Amino acid sequence: MNVKQRTIKSEISISGIGLHTGRSVNMVIKPAPEYHWYKFQRVDLEGNPIIDVDADNVTDTSRGTTISQNGASVSTIEHLMAALVGLQIDNVLIELDAPEVPILDGSARIFVDKLIETGYVEQDADRDYYEIKENVTYIEKDRKVEIMAMPLDGYRLTCMIDFNSPVLGSQHASISNITEFKNEISGSRTFCFLHELEALLSNNLIKGGDLSNAIVVVDKEVSDVELEKLSTLFNKSVDVASEGILNNIQLRYRNEPARHKLLDMIGDLALVGRPIKGHIMAARPGHAANVAFAKKIKAQIKRDRNRKNIKTYDPNMKPVYDTVQIMNILPHRQPFLMVDKILELSETHVVGLKNVTMNEDLFMGHFPGSPVFPGVLQIEAMAQTGGILVLNTVPDPENWLTLFLKIENARFKNQVTPGDTVIFTCELLEPIRRGIAKMKGLGMVGDKVVSEAELMAQIVKVKNI
């Protein structure tokens, strides 16, 4: 796989018809700078709005993938996206004068040929790969859809389809390396079943549809009257091949439908916004599932980014305060003293440590057979850690108490069990005013977030209580 980002050498112009709108489309693919990724621009609309290729911008997946942003939309983007991903092109701007990418022959081959003919320019920046570090799974039980991404130093894809059709049967397609896309996948055309075609035609939903840009699978007996009707609609003679395909179209591959599903998956996963390293396996994928899976990977990227921004601490480092020193500041005592050490302390943040052990009194009554440190006590430990931060603002903390006024957005993400060491971090969200502090608290075991909350506290003199 490429190390450096790349774009194209010069502009590419492609014209055609939109599959669903039937409108003529003029498209210009232009070089773009590093870290640009893929963006569409509707040059036919006022202000020439730009639409980022991003899973969060998907607005429809019923008959292809549609993205919308800034009051503009672009439909049927998946074949062009697959061509760009398949050729490892990272940065382009795509201008359109209509709301749909041209369907051309229903595959990605013409896009690929044009891009190769134009050539590439290697850019200075390294490719910003997202490497799958742990399995990511998406399942739709009712439709028997399952997609999984697994760690791999490369980009491998495997796809299985099964439409319960005697014509198609079960089909598989795969590539072990993205460089195989051009020869093995790009030429596979979109397909539909005859009953779907008739429904779409009757509802005027594929105005640009033609037997030259799709494979039509005949999954029922077709009368001469129906064939004559279809011949009239398409203005050409229509019959059924022995393989169950309309108009004797010669399949480019025995498993062309499965290969096209793989093509769609490659294109839809461009919505992640970065090139991927991993092995993607899919059973019965479709645009809706592909987009949902892309969103799941995006969410994982966000979690990983947040995890990188979280500092880790050595539990054995010399503490700022040990347990005895903490008891000189906080009024809590066993069994309700929930902080064992303070590892870091500044004017705006504090880091505390809690060792969870099986001999704590609470485990005698809280799930004794399956001991779990209660979430409410995690918040208490977080609050006591934050109390150290707030009491650090007065010269005589032993004469003050920290009273918590509010807890918001509390979340518990992983269980805490005996043997765990929880690191609690509290950081001021704004300066302390009139003795009131607002803090963001985070509890971690190793590199996993176990709890988080926003806390509001007030310090008061002991004699005033």
Question: Which residues form the catalytic set?
Answer: 287, 366
* Lookup: tokens for 98: 């209509």
2 backbone dihedrals φ, ψ, rounded to 5°: -60, 145
Sort strands 72-74 and 66-69 into parallel, antiparallel or unpaired.
Answer: antiparallel
Kindly report the number of other CB atoms within 10 A of residue 327's CB atom. Answer: 16
Starting from the edge strand earliest in sequence, which strands make up the sheet with 38-42, in order? Answer: 12-17, 24-31, 92-96, 38-42, 50-52
Starting from the edge strand earliest in sequence, which strands make up the sheet with 72-74, in order? Answer: 58-60, 66-69, 72-74
As a whole number of angstroms, the distance between CA 389 and CA 381 comes to 13
Residue owning tokens 């779990």: 372
Using CA atoms, how far residue 143 sits from 82, 194, 260, 283, in Å, is 25, 21, 19, 10
What's the half-sphere exposure (Cβ side, CA atoms, 13 Å) at 211?
Answer: 22
Give just the sign of the alpha carbon dihedral 286, 289, 294, 295.
positive
SS3 40: strand
Q: What amino acid occupies position 291?
A: V
Looking at 145-275, which runs of residues are DSSP E strands?
145-150, 155-162, 170-175, 191-193, 215-217
As a whole number of angstroms, the distance between CA 248 and CA 225 comes to 18
